[in-house]
Chains A and B, each alone.
Chain A
Amino acid sequence: METLQQDLLIILPELILALGAMTLLMWGVFRGDGATGELNILTLVLFALVSISVFSGAPEERLAFHGTYIADGFTRVMKLLVLTGAALAVIMSARYIATERLRRFEFPVLIVFATTGMMLMISANDLVVLYIGLELQSLALYVLAAYSRDSVRSTEAGLKYFVLGALSSGLLLYGASLIYGFSGATGFDAIGNAVASGGQNIGLTVGLVFLLAGLAFKISAVPFHMWTPDVYEGAPTPVTAFFAAAPKLAAMALVLRVLIDPLFAIAVQWQQIIVFVSIASILLGSFAAIGQTNIKRLMAYSSIANVGHMLVGLAAGTQEGVQGVIIYLAIYLAMTIGTFVCILAMRRPEGMVEDINDLSGLAQTRPAMAAALLILMFSLAGIPPMAGFFGKFYVYLAAVNAGLWPLAVIGILASVVGAYYYIRIVMIMVNGEPAAPFEQNLGFELRVILFGAALYNLAFILFAAPVIAIAGAAAQALFN
């Protein structure tokens, strides 16, 4: 007999986060905007507490609130990754917010709310919780995108994201209602049973398509990627870094959960969709990025291509493939955050610059930063022995083992195209005429993150064994 206390113990991480968010909010309201600095620190403490609470949770599967919430080995790993991404985003934002006069105490509070939503997405075991978690996350992200409210670009980004996000939520809800209608349940376990016993059903397939359309928007996979470049470009840079890291992880975890857990019996149906979405994302991400001159837009296309590569592992539909996706996510987080620290460092006395040509001659003006960016770019391009290579290696290995040869060939060829624009950045940095130098205001904490990320990418081979083992255990938890 489950009691409320047991349920509350299982959802303890989310509980701490939600209560913490409200406490931080009250703190901010009473202390005013001057408290942003101390709120940042408190937010990090909160994230650390939640991480401990997630980490100390038992790795076996536990259900709460009539099976609408699930905690297992998979959620544990994904939550720790998301918390890391969110904490890094908070650290990255601190200095930026102070210099750009965006100092309002709501910023860390919104990030904590967004993180609560993401944790719920990861732990969702029911269509209703899935949707509420998604909305909690999205709503906070809409506001964060428009956070620099006096900037036209930022408000435009927020509005665009909001309108398209609302549309995608509509698609997702439509799909969810069809799945509910044809399986008679909203809980993933019950849907799984209905799907397994009911066999193929046109209504379920249509519902699946709409559900995937809504989720594809959240991971910015083609053909639902249109918002990504504009929002990435318009949003304040630390917010963009946050967008590229944590929500992608959470949405990807959600996709994995939905497709592997309840809908595994109709894998034949969703595999076609995932293969198409994956190829389209890789191709578009690789080719459209070539013409970009703004580095934030370039990173947007890069993230579209990366999502495509991740989906290759999911398309395989095997435990090995899911393991590859989780490894890829862990590497992608480090690559993205590191690159965005470099973008944050692109500041001249007249303000932030975002053009790729502004990096010209960086190897002479700022050699250490150039070296770190070089490692990150090589890693994104997938050149061995950088981490990015291993990310791609495991997903493609799984795809080949599952017999998806054409997908693997197209993906690898397109990633060669993708390597072109990463290496172009390196060429500009190394060979270009030195442009006016950037300000030396990176700060200690950002330097630690940048060189930590670069080191992680460079020496991934040393950490590879534990990362792969953890990802394997997480994938196994999902498949059991």
Chain B
Amino acid sequence: MLQALAFYLFSGVLVISAIMVIAARNPVHSVLFLILAFFNAAGLFVLMGAEFLAMILVVVYVGAVAVLFLFVVMMLDIDFTELREGFLEYLPFGAVIAGVLLAELIVVLLAWNFAAGTTVTARPELPPGGISNTEALGRVLYTDYFFVFQLSGLVLLLAMIGAIVLTLRHREGVRRQSVARQVGRTREEAVELKKVKPGQGI
């Protein structure tokens, strides 16, 4: 009962915030609604017992992708009302494409029939001995595929070196902060006392 309640709560908020993503006038609000949608989807995953997927969704999508979106929206001065100007003009054409896609989906769904025994083979194997999802995935990633995992790290390191090799330039004449020099300054070389005569200036 409680689970059903939670499910409808998450789903309802998810659907409403998803609609608001495309309906909101302010693009920043759109992105914020998108983040809300991600959180609710994560809640649904938790209800299904896929807690790892829920965490990944929050960490990857909210942490990286949504923040990136927010950056783009706020940093680039895009006039969204201008983007929407041709909306009515292209509406008939868009509707035709949407109709074709819908028809294709219906045809596919009608023609879909499962091969015998599909349900058995497609079911994910439950990890033995009451191991949680996260633990099972961790075993696959860090034990079974330890070698490949380390090699991927090497590829990432190389990508970083490559980016530095190709783009880092030490420009001449750039003033950088030197803490040692700042601290090492004495009063004598930093401050000069001048007698200013009244009415003359320096």
Contacts and interface: CB of A to CB of B under 8 A. Distances in A.
A266 B142 CA distance: 34
Interface stretch (A139-147, A301-309, A356-364, A469-477): A139-147
B144 interface: yes
Interface stretch (B17-25, B106-114, B148-156): B148-156
A267 B181 CA distance: 71
Interface in B110-158: 144-148, 151-152, 154-155, 157-158
A129 B162 contact: no
A143 B146 CA distance: 27
- Listed residue (B157, B158, B159) with the most chain A CB atoms within 10 angstroms of its CB: B158
A435 B152 CA distance: 51
A293 B44 CA distance: 66
B151 A133 contact: yes
A132 B162 contact: no
Interface string A425-468: 00000000000000000000000000000000000000000000
A143 B165 contact: yes
Given A68-B147, A139-B158, A132 B152 contact: yes
Interface in B156-193: 157-159, 161-162, 164-166
A69 B158 contact: no
B49 to A, nearest CB: 26
Contact of B154 (A116, A129, A146): A116
Contacts of B166: 143, 146, 149, 158
A129 B147 contact: yes
Interface residues of B, number: 17
Contacts of A129: 147-148, 151
A136 B148 CA distance: 12
Contacts of A68: 147-148
* Main DSSP-derived SS at the A contact region: helix
A110 B147 contact: no
Contacts of B161: 25, 106, 109-110, 113, 143
A139 B147 contact: no
A132 to B, nearest CB: 5
Contacts of A106: 161, 164-165
B154 A140 contact: no
Contacts of A158: 166
A113 B158 contact: yes
Contacts of B159: 139
A132 B165 contact: no
Contacts of A135: 155
A116 B159 CA distance: 14
Nearest to B163: A143
Interface string B77-105: 00000000000000000000000000000
Nearest to B164: A106
Interface string A187-214: 0000000000000000000000000000
Nearest to A162: B162
A238 B108 CA distance: 56
Interface in A76-121: 104, 106, 109-110, 113, 116, 120
Nearest to B157: A22
A128 interface: yes
Contacts of A369: none
Given A104-B165, A106-B165, A140 B148 contact: no
A136 B146 contact: no
Contacts of B154: 18, 113, 116, 136
A284 B144 CA distance: 45
A143 B162 contact: yes
Contacts of B157: 22
A140 B144 CA distance: 27
Interface in A377-433: none
A243 to B, nearest CB: 16
Contact of A136 (B145, B147, B155, B164): B155
B148 A132 contact: yes
A65 interface: yes
A183 B2 CA distance: 44
Nearest to A142: B162
A67 B78 CA distance: 53
Nearest to A107: B165
A136 B159 CA distance: 9
Contact of B158 (A120, A140, A146): A140
A69 B146 CA distance: 12
A136 to B, nearest CB: 5
Contacts of B158: 110, 113, 136, 139-140
A23 to B, nearest CB: 13
B155 A139 contact: yes
Contacts of A109: 161
B147 A65 contact: yes
30 contacts: A18-B154, A22-B157, A65-B146, A66-B144, A68-B147, A68-B148, A69-B147, A104-B165, A106-B161, A106-B165, A110-B162, A113-B154, A113-B158, A116-B154, A120-B151, A129-B147, A129-B151, A132-B148, A132-B152, A133-B151, A135-B155, A136-B154, A139-B158, A139-B159, A140-B158, A142-B162, A143-B161, A143-B165, A143-B166, A158-B166
Given A68-B148, A139-B158, A149-B165, 10 more contacts: A22-B157, A25-B161, A110-B158, A110-B162, A113-B154, A128-B145, A129-B151, A132-B151, A136-B154, A158-B166
Interface of B: 144-148, 151-152, 154-155, 157-159, 161-162, 164-166
Interface of A: 7, 11, 18, 22, 25, 64-66, 68-69, 104, 106, 109-110, 113, 116, 120, 128-129, 132-133, 135-136, 139-140, 142-143, 146-147, 149, 158
Which 6 pairs of residues, A with B, have the shortest CB-CB distance? A143-B162, A65-B147, A132-B151, A106-B165, A113-B158, A128-B148
